[in-house]
């Protein structure tokens, strides 16, 4: 079935140990503890994690935007993977991770709050798919600390899968890629490149997100037509432009240097917020994007009649994270002489590499018109509907509305890029 938005992302964190070969044996190692399904945390602790994740998202965007072309990543996936790494970090390494993730909570409170956030994000009864999976692979017969395994189990629902990197690193790589491919419904394949694992690897930590949803307010296919899209270079190209030919009641704002419109998915729990910087102000807007700007934009959204033209787009993106994370102050983690991951095992570990892959497909899906209730707002609509034409580079955010968690953040410079 063709769905309007098919988005998947995966973040795999890889580490190597400065130790020799180990014998083969074992299959699965699990903590005897079960995941806490309804963690009780203070509202301010939960808000601390959400705000930290949001600022982390814009910190990352501030660096990856330096690349040319389209951008897509899941800040939630990356921060979740780093949160699990933090469970095994000590000393300066742990401090850098906490600071980079913008959360001042101590370890116990942090993991409990992250679990509470994950439980809320994953508690989906709405008519869309949101699947989040965590997994940890460790070198067979390595002495991993029970406290670390307990934290993974209790707060992240992740067990320890045993692999023999020492004698069959390539086989382990293929097995991990198969897990990632299954977890993302086949949308992410080959997340770990050939040769990315070698016999010195001692653990691989992975998080995968798969999201699949339909618009609540459909774009009728018969109104889609090729229209000009103005690239940053000044060139104009023709792209399939979807449209709401009749005004739709959507939450809209013109604030902080951009037009913003919220497009709800069926069920209203998750939405895409499209950010169209004012003409000629794209780079200025990108530079200004942070937690405070985001709050200003989202708090200004209110219901209005909007006639929207919005391009179809489909593309994949990927990046290697170490250099980016180092620029965010998370440096010791990747330094074999400085990394302190003794909370995982007493053996000397450091993170060798970190990969992130993402995919998005946005089109006009015919959906059942759900009860056409408007989100919120008693402000009267203007006499004439707002007309918003997304015909130049724009940004988008896919957000879990009840928690405010940013699941995906992207930039479209050219909708034709596939």
Nearest to 100 by CA among 399, 312, 328: 328
pLDDT tens, residue by residue, 230-280? 999 999 999 999 998 889 999 999 999 999 999 999 888 889 999 999 999
> 231 Cβ partners below 8 Å, 6+ apart?
237, 392, 393, 413, 414
Q: Pick the more confident residue, 88 or 370.
A: 88
Residue-level pLDDT at 71: 93
Average of per-residue pLDDT values in the chain: 82
CA separation for the pair 150, 111 (Å, rounded): 11
Residue-level pLDDT at 29: 58
> 235 Cβ partners below 8 Å, 6+ apart?
none
Question: In what order do the strands lie in the sheet containing 5-17?
Answer: 28-29, 160-163, 129-139, 201-213, 5-17, 349-362, 313-320
Q: 378 pLDDT band (50/70/90 cuts)?
A: very low
Burial of 279 (0-12, 13-18, 19+ CB in 10 A): exposed
| Residue 208 in this model has a pLDDT that exceeds 90 | no
Residue-level pLDDT at 127: 67
| Residue 86 in this model has a pLDDT that exceeds 60 | yes
Residue-level pLDDT at 361: 84
Task: Work out the average pLDDT over 34-38.
Answer: 90
Burial of 110 (0-12, 13-18, 19+ CB in 10 A): buried
Task: Work out the average pLDDT over 380-404.
Answer: 83
CA separation for the pair 137, 162 (Å, rounded): 6
CA separation for the pair 147, 145 (Å, rounded): 5
Residue-level pLDDT at 354: 78
DSSP structural state of residue 338:
T
By DSSP bridging, strand 129-139 and strand 160-163 are parallel
β-bridge mates for residue 210, sequence order: 8, 131
Domain architecture of the chain: domains with CATH: 5-213+315-360 (3.30.497.10), 221-312+370-412 (2.30.39.10)
CA separation for the pair 23, 42 (Å, rounded): 46
Q: 418 pLDDT band (50/70/90 cuts)?
A: low
| Residue 225 in this model has a pLDDT that exceeds 90 | yes
Task: Count Cβ atoms below 10 Å from residue 10 Cβ, excluding itself.
Answer: 30
Residue-level pLDDT at 8: 36
CA separation for the pair 228, 391 (Å, rounded): 7
Residue-level pLDDT at 115: 95
Percent of the chain residues topping a pLDDT of 70: 87
């Amino acid at each position: 079935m063709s769905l309007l938005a098919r988005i998947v992302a995966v973040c795999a964190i890889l580490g190597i140990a400065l130790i020799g070969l180990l014998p083969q044996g074992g299959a699965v190692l699990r903590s005897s503890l079960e995941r806490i399904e309804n963690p009780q945390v203070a509202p301010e602790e939960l808000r601390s994690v959400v705000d930290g994740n949001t600022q982390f998202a814009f910190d990352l965007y501030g660096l990856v935007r330096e690349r040319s072309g389209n951008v897509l990543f899941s800040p939630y996936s990356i921060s979740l993977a780093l949160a699990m790494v933090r469970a095994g970090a000590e000393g300066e390494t742990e401090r850098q991770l906490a600071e980079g993730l913008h959360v001042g909570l101590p370890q116990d409170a942090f993991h409990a709050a992250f679990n509470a956030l994950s439980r809320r994000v994953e508690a989906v009864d709405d008519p869309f798919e949101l699947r989040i999976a965590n997994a940890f692979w460790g070198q067979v017969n390595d002495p991993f600390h029970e406290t670390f395994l307990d934290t993974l189990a209790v707060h992240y629902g992740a067990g320890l899968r045993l692999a023999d990197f020492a004698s069959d690193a390539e086989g382990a790589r293929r097995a991990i890629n198969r897990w990632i491919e299954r977890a993302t419904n086949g949308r992410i394949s080959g997340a770990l490149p050939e040769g990315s694992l070698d016999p010195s690897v001692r653990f691989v930590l992975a998080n995968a997100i798969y999201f699949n949803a339909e618009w609540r307010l459909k774009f009728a296919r018969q109104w889609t037509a090729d229209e000009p899209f103005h690239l940053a270079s000044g060139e104009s190209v023709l792209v399939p432009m979807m449209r709401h030919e009749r005004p739709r009641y959507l939450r809209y704002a013109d604030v902080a240097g951009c037009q913003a419109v919220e497009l709800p998915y069926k069920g209203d729990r998750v939405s895409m917020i499209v950010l169209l910087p004012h003409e000629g102000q794209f780079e200025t807007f990108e530079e200004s994007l942070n937690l405070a700007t985001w709050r200003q934009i989202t708090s200004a959204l209110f219901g209005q009649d909007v006639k929207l033209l919005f391009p179809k787009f489909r593309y994949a993106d990927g990046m290697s994270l170490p250099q980016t994370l180092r620029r965010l102050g998370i440096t010791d983690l990747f330094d074999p002489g400085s990394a302190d991951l003794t909370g995982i095992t007493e053996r000397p570990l450091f993170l060798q590499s970190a990969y992130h892959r993402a995919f998005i497909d946005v089109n006009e899906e015919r959906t059942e018109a759900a009860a056409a209730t408007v989100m919120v707002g008693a402000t009267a609509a203007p006499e004439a509907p707002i007309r918003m034409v997304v015909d130049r580079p724009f940004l988008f955010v896919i957000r879990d509305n009840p928690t405010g968690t940013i699941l995906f953040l992207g930039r479209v410079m050219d909708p034709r890029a596939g």
